[in-house]
Amino acid sequence: MQQFKNLGEVFPSPFRKVDIPLDEMERDIRDVQRPMLSQDEKHEVPGCAEDLLAVYAGLDLNSEHGKDTPRRFLAMLNELTSHKNCNGDCMKWKTFPESVDQMIVVKKIPFYSVCNHHVIPFSGFAWVGYVPDGKVAGLSKFARVLNHFARKLQVQEVLTQEVVNFLEGHLKPKGLMVVTEAEHFCMTLRGAQVPGTTTRIVETLGVFADHSRTAKMEFLEAIK
Ligand SMILES: [Zn+2]
Ligand SMILES: [Zn+2]
């Protein structure tokens, strides 16, 4: 029986670069035995992708609308998870020396990600507040950081934490607070099916973490 190690082995070029361990999916598709594609067939979409969509979603692979869907599906997965193996080094991150000691708040940054549990989108907004300690970053950078860490299979808590870790590491601020609020389609479209429900995650560091301080209240007031 063929044992798939990762997508890079299963999916030929142009999906060769993809490298997601497929433990869950492996179990489902393990019984579908397919020979590895030869170099000549490298532009063929692997049968496991076709089977997944045909068997589980009733896709008609012979229809005009369905025949290219497995390829589009894989390309989409690849695109939505384009930073899966990246710790943020790909971003050109630059800070500027600045003596400002006031809280800087970047409000309502939109983001889109994919749920790690259900492979279905979740999307929402983030609010970032920080009190600089000698250096600041361009405001657009915060949106870049968010959308960088959103481009992989994610859990909202982890996304929020990764944004905090990255900003903390690069800005070394006196305080940092990141709030994310998202609607998870795995909850609104399936499962509990409760449209409009959102999940809010709050991470605080430094002056924001001290509940007795006014920084946190000031931030929450600012993002109302
Ligand atoms: Zn990256
Ligand atoms: Zn989910």
How many domains does the structure of the chain reveal? 2
User: Does the pLDDT at position 217 exceed 70?
Assistant: yes
pLDDT of residue 211: 62
User: Does the pLDDT at position 71 exceed 80?
Assistant: yes
Mean pLDDT of the chain: 81
CA–centroid distance, 20 to ligand 2, in Å, is: 18
Rg, Å, the chain Cα set: 21
Residues forming a β-bridge with 204: 177
Is the link from the previous residue into 110 a cis peptide, with omega within 30 of 0? no
pLDDT of residue 42: 44
Asked if the structure places residue 2 within a domain, the reply is no
Range of the domain at 71: 7-80
Q: Are residues 75 and 99 in the same domain?
A: no
Quote the strand ranges of the chain, DSSP E: 95-97, 104-115, 121-131, 135-137, 153-154, 175-184, 199-206
Q: Convert the pLDDT of each residue in 95-109 to its tens digit.
A: 999 888 889 999 999
Q: What is the mean pLDDT of residues 109-125?
A: 96
Asked if the structure places residue 206 within a domain, the reply is yes
Q: Convert the pLDDT of each residue in 165-181 to its tens digit.
A: 999 999 999 999 999 99
Asked if the structure places residue 89 within a domain, the reply is no
Q: Are residues 140 and 203 in the same domain?
A: yes
Q: Are residues 217 and 165 in the same domain?
A: yes
CA–centroid distance, 17 to ligand 1, in Å, is: 14
pLDDT of residue 212: 60
103: domain CATH number is 3.30.1130.10
Cα–Cα distance measured from residue 49 to residue 59, given in angstroms and rounded to the nearest whole number: 11
Q: Are residues 105 and 205 in the same domain?
A: yes
- Helix (H) or strand (E) run with residue 143 in it: helix 140-150
Residue reference for tokens 């509990």: 192
Q: Are residues 75 and 102 in the same domain?
A: no
Cα–Cα distance measured from residue 149 to residue 111, given in angstroms and rounded to the nearest whole number: 10
Asked if the structure places residue 88 within a domain, the reply is no
CA–centroid distance, 32 to ligand 1, in Å, is: 34
Q: Name the residues around ion ligand 2, CB cutoff 5 A.
A: 115, 117-118, 186
CA–centroid distance, 213 to ligand 1, in Å, is: 35
CA–centroid distance, 42 to ligand 2, in Å, is: 33
Asked if the structure places residue 85 within a domain, the reply is no
Q: Are residues 212 and 123 in the same domain?
A: yes
What is the DSSP track for 100-126? --S-EEEEEEEEEEEETTTS-EEEEEE
Given 80, 103, 135, which residue is the final one in a domain? 80
